[in-house]
Structure 1
Amino acid sequence: MSLLTVFTPALNSAYTLRRLYESLVTQSCPDFEWLVIDNGSSDFTQQLIEGFKREGRIHIAYIRQEHGGPHNAYHTAYANISTELCVCIDADNFMPEDAVETIATNWREKGSTANAGIIGLNCHMDTMEAIGRRFPEDIAKAYFPELYAQGFNLHNCTPVTRTDLMRDAVIHTGDDVDDDLTLLYALLQISDSLPMLTANECFSITDTQVRMDISPQESIFKRYAESPRSFARLRHLEMRLKHTSLRHSYRSAMHYMACSLLAGGHDITKDSRRKALTILAGIPGYIMYRYISHRYKR
């Protein structure tokens, strides 16, 4: 059995899947499988993947399901992954040719059940420079919430996780967390209990122009207005993480208050598992709520 599964949620992504496929067939280490979860594409994604499978160059599993958003794709992926490790590589990203070898080498030399996985860098396609900061050279492992509080996020990192841990975390995430927050929510949970190995190596390459054209990043306040319940749950998780700073916890409490008010919550303090912190964040959280309500009327 292979060590790693690279899984890709796909929705009308045929125009970028070939680039990802070509990056996988040229990997210097073949110890991986590729799982594509097709969320009801109406383009030629299915025919493309079937053609790749006929070539027989790498092991490919393809699952097509009705369109239900990335959240359903994650559920399906983790239910069908049998390898020890897994990594989500989006259809508009691809991997450098030594990525699987780097992951396998690091995990076999340093990894164990005492670790949640290994986290590497996401790099710009044009420069191959890391998106965001690199990990401190003197830190061989870290809890992801610590990195997250310092500004590391899923746009500039590529987490490779233990499948067993992520499967359980995603299953218990529920349907009230937005699709694009599912992986972050699950990752924060599993790596608040166990640290992740860090590698200042590129695991994934991003075509930043494609991302700008397809997925323009909206302001966080606008996203709060659109999905307040989902973000309230995420911020509530953040404010009670063990491996984060008090400053980040307080900031999360402010955002939790604002999102809860946007969602129509009435017993916000009662519902919080950090009541004192929520009370302290009440006034700035309310001001944030009023600003978002005024700026982004729903």
Structure 2
Amino acid sequence: MKTITVFTPTYNRAYCLHKCYESLVKQPNQDFVWLIIDDGSTDNTEELVASWIKDGKIDIVYHYQENQGMHGGHNAAYRLTETTLNVCIDSDDNMGENAIQKILDAWEHIKDKPEFAGIVGLDADPDGKIIGTTIPESIKETTLYDLYNVHKVLGDKKLVYRTEVVKKYPAYPIFEGERFVPLGYLYQLIDQDYKLLPLNEVLCDVEYMPDGSSLNILKQYRRHPKGFAFSRKSRMKLAKNFKDRFKNAIHYVSSAMFTKNGSFLKESPRKFITFLAIPFGILLNLYIRFKTKGEF
């Protein structure tokens, strides 16, 4: 069995998915399987992937499901993955140069240390520039929360997890009529029990596409308020300081306004902070409505 599953949730991305494929074909170390989660595509994704499977250049597993959104794709990937490690490379991104070998080299340092959930590495843009900042070399272990909130690292980072770890936690919830739950929900749960090994190596080349969620976050926020409210409740509960709890309470109030949930205060895990956040949540909600007017 291979060591790593590289999984890619995709929805109508046949026009760019070949870039990800080519980056995987170029990996000198082929100790991986590419798991493609086709989240209800209506383009020629299935035919394209079938041609790659026929070519036999890399090991590919194709799974089709009705559209559930990015988090639903992650649910399927974690359910189907059988390898020791897993890493997500989005359909508009590329596996970094020699990234599989870099992951395996880092894995040797922690594979016998069960307190580590996995590895956190770097993302870069198509020109090779690091997204955000690198990780301070003095940090030998961290959580994702501490990486951003204590060590003040900036920008998206690439996570490689032990499969046995991610399988311990609940799947992302699926809300009827919505297709998005922030992926950080699972990562924060893992942070409560495990550490990550920092790796100052580029594992993924990221290109933010016009139709991607990263560049459409306010629209996502408004289209999927139940998913965002769920995430904010979890973050409020697990946050380590008042500032973080209050910030998430503001967003929770805003999302509750979009869902017209009159019980939001009763359902909050931090009722007093949520009460204090109401005026700010109203302002945030009005701001998002203004910025997305004409879209709904």
Does TM-score exceed 0.5, indicating one fold? Answer: yes
Give the 3-state SS of the residue equivalent to 2:36 in structure 1.
strand
Deviations for 1:236-280, whole angstroms, at most 9, x for unmatched residues?
1112225x4432222111221222233222233321222232233
Matched residue, 2:216: 218
The equivalent residue for 1:21 is 21
Change (3 A) 1:203 1:219: closer
* 1:121-175 deviation per Cα after TM superposition (whole angstroms, max 9, x unaligned): 111012x11111222221122111233447768x62111112233234352x211
2:238 paired with 1:237:
no
**TM-aligned CA distance change 1:35 to 1:10, over 3 Å:** same
Aligned residue type for 2:144: F
Alpha-carbon distance change, 17 to 286 in structure 1, aligned in 2, over 3 angstroms? closer
- TM-score of the pair, normalised by structure 1: 0.86
The superposition leaves residues 84-134 of structure 1 with CA deviations (integer Å, 9 ceiling, x where unpaired) of: 1111111111112311111111112134321121111111012x1111122
Report the Cα distance in structure 2 between the residues aligned to 1:165 and 1:176, rounded to whole angstroms. Answer: 24
Aligned residue for 2:181, secondary structure, equals helix
Change in 2 beyond 3 A, CA 1:284/1:65:
closer
Matches within 5 A, 1:21-60: 21-60=21-60
Matched-pair contact (CA < 8 Å) for 1:170–1:182: no
Matched residue, 2:268 = 272
SS state at 1:218 partner: helix
Contact 1:149 1:248 in 2 (8 A): no
Q: Is the 8 A contact 1:146 1:245 kept in 2?
A: no
1:1-298 mapped onto 2 (5 Å cutoff):
1-111=1-111, 112-126=113-127, 128-149=128-149, 156-169=156-169, 171=171, 173-176=172-175, 179-208=179-208, 211-212=209-210, 217-218=215-216, 220=218, 222-242=219-239, 244-292=240-288
8 Å CA contact 1:140, 1:199 repeated in 2? no
**Residues 6 and 240 of structure 1: is their aligned pair in 2 closer, same or farther, counting only changes over 3 Å?**
same
CA displacement at 1:203 relative to structure 2: 0.8
Instruction: Give a deviation string over 1:47-97, Cα, whole Å, max 9, x none.
Output: 222222222222111122333433332222222110111111111111123
Instruction: Report the 3-state secondary structure (helix = DSSP H, G, I; strand = E; otherwise coil) of the residue aligned with 2:188.
Output: helix
Percent of pairs identical after alignment?
Answer: 33
CA distance in structure 2 between the aligned counterparts of 1:62 and 1:19, rounded to whole angstroms:
17
Aligned equivalents of 1:41, 1:296: Cα separation in 2: 26
Which shows bigger deviation, 98-107 or 142-151?
142-151
- Return the alpha-carbon distance in structure 1 between the equivalents of residues 76 and 264 of structure 2: 33
Answer with 34-43 or 283-292: which moved more. 283-292
Deviation at 1:186, TM superposition (A): 1.4
Structure 2 CA distance, aligned partners of 1:50 and 1:115? 36
Instruction: Name the aligned partner's letter for residue 175 of structure 1.
Output: I
In 2 relative to 1, CA 296–250 (structure 1 residues): closer, same or farther, beyond 3 Å? Answer: same
1:175 match: secondary structure = coil
User: Tell me, what secondary structure is at the counterpart of 1:75?
Assistant: helix
Aligned partners of 1:293 and 1:42: how far apart in 2?
A: 30
Cα drift, residue 182 of structure 1? 4.7
Task: Quote the Cα distance in structure 2 between the aligned partners of 1:219 and 1:79.
Answer: 27
**Equivalences, count:** 291
Q: 1:289 to 1:67 in 2, by over 3 A?
A: closer
- Shift in alpha-carbon separation, 1:152–1:12, aligned structure 2, 3 A: farther
Shift of 1:34: 0.8
Give the alignment's TM-score, normalised by structure 2.
Answer: 0.86
Higher share in helix:
1
- Aligned counterparts of 2:99 and 2:205: Cα–Cα separation in 1: 10
* Aligned-residue RMSD, C-alpha: 2.7
For residue 294 of structure 1, report the CA deviation from its aligned partner: 6.3
Q: Give the gaps of 5 or more residues in structure 1.
A: none
CA distance in 1, matches of 2:50, 2:136: 42
